[in-house]
Structure 1
Amino acid sequence: MKGYLKREDDFTTRSKHLHSLTDEELKARFWELSEKLVDPMLELAKTHTTPSIERSILLRMGFSSLEAQPLVDGAMDRGLMGKGVGHLVYKMSDETKLPIREIGLEMIEGKHWDRLLEIFKGGIK
């Protein structure tokens, strides 16, 4: 291939440090390295969300897609998206002792958002 350098196979050299390991030690090493790869993704998932993820959570909480969208929009408009829209609905349900679905429908009508802003100190700036 023109313009490409052929890479010499150095697998044997690079894998020498693994030759003395048992199968169990190799398996442990594999999972250790796998965790190092996945840990940053898990951290990112804990602190970041998307409208799509939030709609999906709301669907699992019993809301329709037509109901989920205004809830997500309401959270985004108020800087509360990072709190998790499902969490917002749950928090208001817990505070008011009303069913989750009922609170969500009231939130779609514009209710409870001021209280959520108080609870979460104005959302994420």
Structure 2
Amino acid sequence: MSKRPDDFEVRRQHLKNLTDEELERRFWQLAEEIVKPLVELAYNHTSPAVERSVLLRMGFSSIEAKAIVEGVMKLGLLGKGAGNVVYRLAKKKNLPIREAGLLLVEGKAWEEVPGLFEGGAANA
């Protein structure tokens, strides 16, 4: 295996006159550029597993979360977020979040869910 030539001095030319503060700022700028596509992907894409995980953190059991996610998927609203569906239903019905989710688990109130997202960007 051949030894890699040392070209550090050549590669650092554009950085050598920067202060520590400027180097740190440059580092965070580049780090942000690297993760930006990942952040956008996370904001714009979800999966049943992610949505079940959200519901688990909202206090639902795995069986309850599975039922809610399946219902949300049947309505084609997974992109809106299963937790968001439960939250909006709770808000509309003036119920605690858990009670609203349990209504969905029991097969109730699903007819109201599509209407929770009508009305444009304010409701998206």
TM bucket (normalised to shorter chain) is 0.7 to 0.9
Partner in structure 2 of residue 90 of structure 1: 87
Q: Which amino acid aligns with 1:113?
A: W
Deviates more, 1:112-121 or 1:98-107: 112-121
Partner in structure 1 of residue 62 of structure 2: 65
How far did 1:11 drift?
Answer: 3.1
Q: Count residues in correspondence.
A: 118
Among 44, 48, 61, the alignment partner of 1:47 is: 44
Q: Distance in 2 between matches of 1:30 and 1:93?
A: 43
Q: TM-score, normalised by structure 1?
A: 0.85
Q: Distance in 1 between matches of 2:8 and 2:71?
A: 54
Structure 1 vs Structure 2 CA RMSD: 1.7
Query: Tell me, which stretches of 5 or more residues in structure 1 are unaligned?
Result: none
1:107 equivalent to 2:104? Answer yes
1:79 equivalent to 2:60? Answer no
Q: Deviations over 1:36-79 (max 9, x none)?
A: 11222111111111112111111111101111111111111110
Among 96, 110, 119, the alignment partner of 2:116 is: 119
Q: Which amino acid aligns with 2:13?
A: K
Bigger RCO (CA 8 Å, 6+ sep)? 1
1:28 equivalent to 2:25? Answer yes
Q: Deviations over 1:92-125 (max 9, x none)?
A: 000001121111111012222221113325xxxx
1:16 equivalent to 2:52? Answer no
Identity of aligned pairs, percent?
A: 54
How far did 1:6 drift?
Answer: 7.2
Q: Which amino acid aligns with 1:90?
A: Y
